[in-house]
């Protein structure tokens, strides 16, 4: 399976996408791909493979996601520092895991939002 270093982003506005392009270029980071709302039923592994299958509109959480695949620790650190300055709301940062590869985008977003809410509620 093709599994290159890449970021996958969801929920960013067009002007924020332009900022991401600059960040990738200036910091010599691997590229990124956009996850669209119509990809909610796709599995993460299929998106990584480069498939883009439009499914019916899913009700996806209103959030921003930056999903790292095969990034080094240094690349993740650099990307997070640079991306935090984009836009008004802070994105959820996550790395692809063997478990999350088999989840749909919708399931991944739901799980990450639950985790974020728990941390916010419990002051972690």
pLDDT digits (tens, 9 = 90+) for 29-49: 999 999 988 898 999 999 999
Whether this model's pTM surpasses 0.75 = yes
Q: Please give the Cα distance from 103 to 120 (Å, whole number).
A: 24
Burial of 8 (0-12, 13-18, 19+ CB in 10 A): buried
- Gyration radius of the chain's alpha carbons: 14
Residue 34 near residue 99 (C-beta atoms within 8 A): no
Continuous segment of H or E residues that includes residue 68: strand 65-69
30 is a domain residue: yes
Show the domain range for 105.
Answer: 6-121
Does 77 fall in a domain? Answer: yes
Query: What pLDDT was estimated at residue 3?
Result: 47
Query: What does pLDDT average to over the chain?
Result: 89
Domain count of the fold of the chain: 1
Identify whether 1 is part of a domain. Answer: no
In this structure, is residue 111 part of a structural domain? yes
Residue whose C-alpha is closest to residue 81's, from 4, 29, 123, 13: 29
In a domain, 39, yes or no: yes
Instruction: State the pLDDT at residue 35.
Output: 93
- Give the max Cα distance, the chain: 40
Q: How many CB atoms lie within 10 A of CB 20?
A: 21
């Amino acid at each position: 399976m093709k599994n290159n270093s890449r970021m996958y982003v969801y929920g960013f506005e067009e002007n924020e996408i332009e900022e991401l392009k600059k960040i990738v270029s200036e910091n010599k980071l691997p590229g990124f791909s956009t996850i669209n709302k119509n990809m909610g039923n796709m599995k993460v592994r299929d998106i990584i493979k480069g498939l883009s299958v439009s499914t019916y509109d899913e009700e996806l959480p209103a959030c921003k996601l930056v999903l790292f695949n095969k990034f080094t620790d240094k690349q993740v650190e650099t990307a997070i520092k640079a991306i935090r300055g984009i836009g008004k709301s802070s994105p959820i940062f996550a790395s692809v895991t063997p478990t999350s590869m088999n989840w749909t985008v919708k399931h991944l977003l739901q799980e990450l939002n639950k985790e974020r809410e728990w941390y916010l509620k419990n002051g972690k």
